[in-house]
Structure 1
Amino acid sequence: MNFNEKNIDLETIIRDEVNKYLNQDVSRLNATEQAPKELTQKYEKMPIPKVGRDIYEVLSELNNEVLTYLYRPNHKRAFSFIPGPASRLSWLGDILTTANNIHASNFKNATLPISIERNLINYLADKIGYEVKPSGGVFVSGGSMANLTAVVTARDRKVSLDKLTKTTVYLTSQTHHSGRKALHVAGFPSENIRIIDHNEDFTMNVSHLKETVEKDVKNGYIPALVISTAGTTNTGAVDDFNKIADICEAYNIWQHVDGAYGASHLLSTKGKSLFKGIERSDSVTWDAHKLLFQTYSCAMIIVKDKNNLINSYGEKAEYLDDITSDDDVIDPEMLGIELTRPARAVKLWLTLQVIGEDEFRKRIDYGQELAEYTKDYVESLDDFEIISQPSLSILSFRYYNDSFTDEENDHLNNLAAKKLADSGYGVAYTTTLNNKKVFRMCTINPETTESDIKETIDRLNRYILEEVKEK
């Protein structure tokens, strides 16, 4: 073993790096910045040295290059994707759990961190409307892993593996792509994935779902799973869980709700009214590294009956006999895919304990208010139109001038989004809705102001008008 670390004053270095971060004003940095090609090549081809390098030289590269060219999801003018405006309390929790190198697989290895995880799963299950017993769940890396965990659980509960070729699943074009990825990994044939129409507000068309299920049953298929969404990434749309549950209960279908983004609105004042019937679902994906303001990665899969998780993931290993729990105390490794796993729940617990639920509610409500402000401001501008109304904290809009072709208008919207990102001031990338290129904004950062939104939209407008003048 190389003990070169003994010659390094790590205590001072760590203190200096932490202070540097604490004194950093992210809003003064570029919201996004792309690394030049020469740096990409430098790090892709950098050799591993036979003899270690000077730590200050390596830290200089890390701080001035590697950590400079990034998309910053915690920037107050980062409106694309689902931003990750993480609390510094979460960051602190991350530091402390990582420093202790916790192996959070079972109670005997990490009794209190896992007790915290179990407590938070119960807290969140109650917010969904599940009974604390027999509901359960586990913290995972993100929405993709949560969706995969749910899909495999649903498969094992509803169909035998030898009948997968006759098993059908249902989702819309607005379902997050991780749902389709999970279905592929779980072995569902792609030709058995039914894409259900969506309504004008981008929610699942329940009439089409019912017709499709009935047709499949008539043709000898086994409907097994519907993936509904609580807050789609594109528009923030929330499906009608009650109507979907009626169909699922009639045909013995598992309803999984992908609430990676939207489920946190169950803590809000206004948004939670959209979630009626979510308690009738069988499982819910919920990301804490979105609207619960946690650092990556921190997400949960929560099921109405934890025995279904145990059925899929409760394998036995002899070398774990001495540390395996029994009775009502179920080790996390028996509820999901991971054995080696960090104590993700601790940082969320720290944040909730210090900030409190009321403050979370205020922050989530504020994001919805900002979305409404964005709508009002866009509507005050010439040649701009709202494409999807604010839902939760997401809306979309576009520049449209009937003097130009659809292709030309799409080009103008794309160009303005690129120029905004290149400037570093903010990020409001486009998406495609109804075959139109549109700006999409997600306004969930508690530090974002109305001035930030106004200036972002003004810049988009200015970039477009500059291009129009040159035509």
Structure 2
Amino acid sequence: MNPYSDLFYEGTANEYSKAIQLASGSVVRFLEKNRKPFSGITPAQLKTAFAEVDLNAPLPDYESLLSEVERLYSDHAITFHLPQYIAHLNCPVVIPAIAAEVLISAINSSLDTWDQSAGGTLIEQRLIEWTCSEIGFDSHSDGVFTSGGTQSNLMGLLLARDHYAKERLRYNIKQKGLPAESSRFRIFVAATGHFSIQKNAALLGLGEQSVVSIPVEGYRMNVALLEEAIQQELEEGNIPIAVVGTAGTTDFGNVDPLEEIGQLAARYKLWFHVDAAYGCGLLLTSKYRHLLKGIELANSVTADYHKSFFQPVSSSAFLVKNKRSLDLLTHHADYLNPKEHDEDGLPNQVNKSIQTTRRFDALKLWFTLRLMGKQKLGSYMETIIDTTAKVADMISQDDELELVSYSDISALVFRYFPAGLDEADVTEVNLYIKKEMLKDGAALLAGTRINGAFYLKFTLLNPLTTTDDVNKLLSIIKQHGATYMRQHRKTLYDRREIA
């Protein structure tokens, strides 16, 4: 008996093939069995099943293992591929990218240095070049794959901070730590920007107080108020270092006026970072590419392929206009990426990253582009955006619903608000709807708050989702709303009488 029968090497090719075939069968069962986005199981119910598992007692075979995993995970996993899932920024994934995952996991390249990845390094670099070109950057640009938008936004703010210190203060943060002036550094972002901007400012030692929230107009950054805020911070003795434009806000799917922001950033010599984690999919389209006008003015850009390029998690990138700015991240270690490697022309991606070991996630996008092409991916995005516009019309024309805003991409915020329901009660009704839909699992949507009031949210990222699918979801929403109002009729009436 082979004592290494579970180790992946040339002597276990048959075992590997069997395991992959069985795992593939489990995936097919997942597709065939799950007919709604969620089973509705509660954490308490599932924890009971987990409590019965003894991790010190191995299972006898793959069949037993897959049966257990299906019971604990697959049967209850959120099914992003179903049209009834329109909650968060989770897209269905394309099959070429799934096929690439098989190679990525088995060959297990680490994309930090050339001597751990070789051709993988060049594939990643080629895809970075392609993305930079689509953005509108020239040959001086560069970038690296990341784990997601939060990491990419962190890198953007890190470069903004260190670039300002180096160029304006003649100070090296990498060597000396934060300068005394750092407590006065200021970063500007729209009120609708991603929470990671505040989180990353704190991680960078600048504190959340360094982030200045700019009011929005039509749920897009108000550029006039941005300039007022910059001038005010200067008058107060603070130091503006960066402005973040959002191409696709999480709640509303809207794109800030990037060109105006970029011009203003240049005027005040601020680092301009564009968070296009969601909106990067617009790069694929000919019909809606104009919404990103001005992104080419950015110093750095976040792109999440696992949001709008239909890639499995994780698949993201951080792109910079000037590759020399990435030198701020480089640290040479004799055992990993000594300076001699640079002299020998060896491309080490770790020089550009805040990670060391990294999966070869770029292969998924390579498989996708080489087999499907940009145009086909773009048609998916155009279908999604077109469907969202039709859904927005449906909601705005429904007397029982209230639409907050139309979307540039595919996120819609609205609420159940029929005649006779007071503003004081509408949040409770919509919270009930959200809770009941999660409990039932037949359709999943998200929620958010605006000025303290709770709203429902659709995020359409599936080209298979039609207006008929959404119309059924809206019927479910209204049914739950009507149920709540029947059950709480007396309470709602009493509140109105007191008011």
TM-score by length of 1: 0.93
Maintained 8 Å contact 1:26/1:75: no
Greater shift, 426-435 or 246-255, is seen at: 426-435
Distance 1:267 1:326 in 2: 37
2:11 is the counterpart of 1:5: no
Pick from 96, 104, 119: which aligns with 1:112? 119
Change (3 A) 1:328 1:244: farther
2:324 is the counterpart of 1:318: no
Code of the aligned partner of 1:318: D
In structure 1, the residue matched to 2:496 is: none
- TM-superposed CA distance for 1:2, in Å, is 6.7
- TM-superposed CA distance for 1:36, in Å, is 4.3
For 2:432, what is the secondary structure of its paired residue?
A: helix
Distance 1:411 1:151 in 2: 38
In structure 2, the residue matched to 1:462 is: 479
Change (3 A) 1:70 1:321: closer
Distance 1:462 1:256 in 2: 44
Greater shift, 362-371 or 315-324, is seen at: 315-324
Distance 2:155 2:303 in 1: 12
Distance 2:413 2:277 in 1: 19
Taking the TM superposition and a 5 Å limit, the aligned residue runs for 1:164-313 are 164-199=182-217, 201-311=218-328, 313=329
Distance 1:352 1:178 in 2: 29
**Can you list the C-alpha shifts for 1:307-331, whole angstroms capped at 9, x where unaligned?**
11122x2110111257934477642
- TM-superposed CA distance for 1:166, in Å, is 1.7
Maintained 8 Å contact 1:401/1:409: no
Pick from 21, 24, 44: which aligns with 1:37? 44
Maintained 8 Å contact 2:36/2:84: no
Distance 1:371 1:434 in 2: 24
Maintained 8 Å contact 1:103/1:110: yes
Distance 1:461 1:94 in 2: 41
For 1:187, what is the secondary structure of its paired residue?
A: coil
Aligned length: 467
Change (3 A) 1:135 1:45: farther
Taking the TM superposition and a 5 Å limit, the aligned residue runs for 1:328-367 are 330-367=347-384
Greater shift, 65-74 or 81-90, is seen at: 65-74
For 1:285, what is the secondary structure of its paired residue?
A: strand
- TM-superposed CA distance for 1:343, in Å, is 0.7
In structure 1, the residue matched to 2:104 is: 97
In structure 1, the residue matched to 2:142 is: 136
Unaligned runs of 5+ in 1: none
In structure 2, the residue matched to 1:150 is: 156
Distance 1:381 1:27 in 2: 34
Distance 1:153 1:329 in 2: 24
Distance 2:242 2:123 in 1: 31
Distance 2:84 2:94 in 1: 16
**Can you list the C-alpha shifts for 1:249-289, whole angstroms capped at 9, x where unaligned?**
12211011111001111212333221111111111100010
**Can you list the C-alpha shifts for 1:39-86, whole angstroms capped at 9, x where unaligned?**
32553785531x533234333221111232233333322111212211
The RMSD of aligned alpha carbons is 2.3
Distance 2:484 2:441 in 1: 19
For 1:227, what is the secondary structure of its paired residue?
A: strand
Maintained 8 Å contact 2:247/2:276: yes
**Can you list the C-alpha shifts for 1:230-266, whole angstroms capped at 9, x where unaligned?**
0000001111112212221122110111110011112
Distance 1:194 1:67 in 2: 43
Maintained 8 Å contact 2:446/2:457: yes
Maintained 8 Å contact 2:191/2:221: no
- TM-superposed CA distance for 1:424, in Å, is 1.6
Unaligned runs of 5+ in 2: 166-170, 172-177, 490-499
Change (3 A) 1:71 1:407: farther
Pick from 391, 409, 414: which aligns with 1:397? 414
2:130 is the counterpart of 1:123: yes
- TM-superposed CA distance for 1:106, in Å, is 2.0
In structure 2, the residue matched to 1:54 is: 60
Q: Mark the structure with the bigger radius of gyration.
A: 2
- TM-superposed CA distance for 1:10, in Å, is 5.1
Distance 1:310 1:327 in 2: 18
For 1:390, what is the secondary structure of its paired residue?
A: coil
For 1:94, what is the secondary structure of its paired residue?
A: helix
Distance 1:442 1:40 in 2: 29
**Can you list the C-alpha shifts for 1:342-387, whole angstroms capped at 9, x where unaligned?**
1110011101111111101110000001101211222342221211
For 1:108, what is the secondary structure of its paired residue?
A: helix
- TM-superposed CA distance for 1:417, in Å, is 2.2
For 2:113, what is the secondary structure of its paired residue?
A: coil
Maintained 8 Å contact 1:107/1:325: no
For 2:70, what is the secondary structure of its paired residue?
A: helix
- TM-superposed CA distance for 1:456, in Å, is 0.9
For 1:429, what is the secondary structure of its paired residue?
A: strand
